[in-house]
Structure 1
Amino acid sequence: MEERRPYSILVIDDDKSMRLSLVDLLEAAGWQVEAIARATLVAAKLDDNPPDVILSDIRMPGMTGLELLSSLDHASAPPLVLISAHGDIPMAVQAMRDGAYSFVEKPYEPRRLLSILTHAAEQNRMQQDNSRLKERLIRLSGLDRILLGQTAEIVSLRQDILDLAGTRATVLITGETGTGKELVAHALHDLGGDGQAPFLALNCAALSQDTFETEMFGIAGQSEGRLAKASGGTLFLDEICSCPAAVQAKLLRVLEDKQILPVGASSAIKAEFRVISATSEDVQDAVSAGRLRQDLLFRINTVVLGLPSLRHRRDDLMLLARHFLEHYAHVYELAVPKMSQDDMAALLAHDWPGNVRELRNVCERRVLAARRGGGSMARAIAADQQLDDVPGTLREAVAVFERELISKAIQAHEGRMDAAAEALGIGRRTLNEKIVKLGLDKGALL
Structure 2
Amino acid sequence: MTDARPITILVVDDDRSLRQSLIELIEAAGWQASAVSRAERVAGRLAETPPDVILSDVRMPGMSGLDLLASLDTSSGPPVVLISAHGDIPMAVEAIRNGAYSFVEKPYEPRRLLTILRNAAEQNRMKQRNRRLTDRLYKLSGLDRILLGQSPVAANLRRDILDLADTDAAILIEGETGTGKELAARALHDLGTDPDSPFVALNCAALTPDMFEAEMFGVAGETGGRLLAAANGTLFLDEVCSCPPPVQAKLLRVIEDKQVLPVGAATPVPVRFRVISATNEDVERAVEENRLRQDLLFRLNTVVLTLPPLRDRREDLTLLVTHFLDHYARIYEIAAPELSADDLAALMTHDWPGNVRELRNVAERRVLAARRGGGSVGQALQSAAQSEEVPDTLREAVAAFERELIGKAIRTHQGRMDAAAEALGIGRRTLNEKIVKLGLDKEALL
TM-score by length of 2: 0.65
SS in structure 2 of the partner of residue 5 of structure 1: strand
Q: Deviations over 1:101-134 (max 9, x none)?
A: xxxxxxxxx99xx99xx79x95976775465344
Q: Which amino acid aligns with 2:144?
A: R
Q: Flag the 1:343–1:33 CA change in 2: closer, same or farther, 3 A.
A: farther
Give yes or no for contact 2:165–2:192 (8 Å, CA) kept in 1.
yes
How many residue pairs align between the two structures?
336
Q: CA 1:182 to 1:375, structure 2 compared with 1: closer, same or farther past 3 Å?
A: same
Q: Tell me the CA shift for residue 263 of structure 1.
A: 1.1
Q: Which residue of 2 aligns with 1:364?
A: 364
Residue 304 of structure 1 aligns with an amino acid whose one-letter code is V
Aligned residue runs from structure 1 range 37-436, under 5 A: 51-52=99-100, 122=120, 128-129=127-128, 131-141=130-140, 145-146=144-145, 147-387=147-387, 398=397, 417-419=426-428, 420-425=430-435
Q: What secondary structure sits across from 1:223 in the alignment? A: coil
- The residue type paired with residue 204 of structure 1 is C
Q: Deviations over 1:405-426 (max 9, x none)?
A: x9xxxxxx9x962334444339
Deviation string for 1:13-47 (max 9, x for gaps)? xxxxxxxxxxx9988459995878xxxxxxxx99x
Letter in 2 for 1:251: L
Q: Which letter maps to 1:417?
A: I
The CA deviation string for residues 386-405 of structure 1, in whole angstroms up to 9 with x for no partner, is 24x888998999469969xx
Find the aligned partners of 1:220 and 1:54 in 2 and give their Cα distance.
61
Deviation at 1:246, TM superposition (A): 1.0
SS at match of 1:305: strand
- Provide the C-alpha distance between the structure 1 equivalents of 2:89 and 2:230, rounded to a whole number of angstroms: 51
Larger radius of gyration: 1
* Structure 1 residues 231 and 285: alpha-carbon distance in aligned structure 2, compared to 1, 3 A threshold: same
Change (3 A) 1:262 1:280: same
2:352 maps to a residue whose letter is W
In the alignment, the residues of structure 2 paired with residue 179 and residue 287 of structure 1 have an alpha-carbon distance, to the nearest angstrom, of 23
Write the deviation string for residues 284-305 of structure 1: whole angstroms up to 9, x where unpaired.
Answer: 0110111100000001111110
Q: Which residue of 2 aligns with 1:14?
A: none
Give the CA deviation at 1:136: 3.2
Give the match for residue 12 of structure 1: none
Task: State the shift of 1:198 in Å.
Answer: 1.0
Distance across 2 between alignment mates of 1:143 and 1:30: 55
CA separation of 1:330/1:401 partners in 2, compared to 1, >3 Å: closer, same or farther? closer
Going from structure 1 to structure 2, the CA distance change for 1:30 and 1:148 (only over 3 Å counts) comes to: farther
* CA apart distance, 1:266: 1.4
Partners of 1:205 and 1:239 within 8 A in 2: yes
Give the counterpart letter for 1:370 in structure 2.
A
CA distance in structure 1 between the aligned counterparts of 2:299 and 2:287, rounded to whole angstroms? 13
- Provide the rounded CA distance (Å) in 2 between the counterparts of 1:365 and 1:31: 67
Distance 1:330 1:298, change over 3 A: same
Are 1:5 and 2:54 matched, yes or no? yes
1:321–1:360 contact (8 Å) kept in structure 2: yes
The one-letter code of the counterpart of 2:297 is L
Whether the 8 Å CA contact 2:201–2:235 is kept in 1: the answer is yes
Report the Cα offset of residue 220 of structure 1.
Answer: 1.5
Q: Equivalent pairs: percent with the same residue?
A: 49
Offset of residue 145 of structure 1: 2.9
Q: Displacement, 1:209?
A: 1.4
Q: Secondary structure at the match of 1:168?
A: coil
CA-CA distance at 1:167 after TM superposition: 1.2
The one-letter amino acid paired with 2:313 is R
In 2: Cα distance, 1:351 partner to 1:223 partner: 47
Please tell me whether the aligned partners of residues 172 and 276 of structure 2 are also in contact (alpha carbons under 8 angstroms).
yes
Q: Is the 8 A contact 2:55 2:83 kept in 1?
A: no
Matched AA of 1:320: L
**Deviation of 1:378 (Å):** 0.2
In 2: Cα distance, 1:177 partner to 1:422 partner: 27
User: Residue type matched to 2:177 in 1?
Assistant: T
1:179–1:308 Cα contact (<8 Å) kept = yes
| Amino acid corresponding to residue 424 of structure 1 in structure 2 | K
What letter matches 2:131 in structure 1? Answer: R
**1:81-117 deviation per Cα after TM superposition (whole angstroms, max 9, x unaligned):** xxxxxxxxxxxxxxxxxxxxxxxxxxxxx99xx99xx
Amino acid at match of 1:135: T
Deviation readout 1:301-346 (Å, 9 max, x if unpaired): 1111000000000011100000000000001111101111111110
Unaligned 5+ segments in structure 1 are 10-23, 37-44, 56-109, 407-412, 427-446
Amino acid at match of 2:426: M
Q: Is the 8 A contact 2:169 2:303 kept in 1?
A: yes
When residues 261 and 392 of structure 1 are mapped into structure 2, their CA distance, relative to the original with a 3 A threshold, is same
The root-mean-square deviation of aligned C-alpha atoms, in Å, is 4.0
User: Taking structure 1 as reference, are residues 30 and 326 closer, same or farther at Cα in structure 2, changes over 3 Å only?
Assistant: farther
Residues 398/27 of structure 1: CA separation in 2 closer, same or farther (3 Å cut): farther
Q: Which amino acid aligns with 2:386?
A: Q
What is the distance in 2 between the residues matched to 1:374 and 1:27? 75
Normalising by structure 1, we get a TM-score of 0.65
Greater Cα offset, 139-148 or 191-200: 139-148
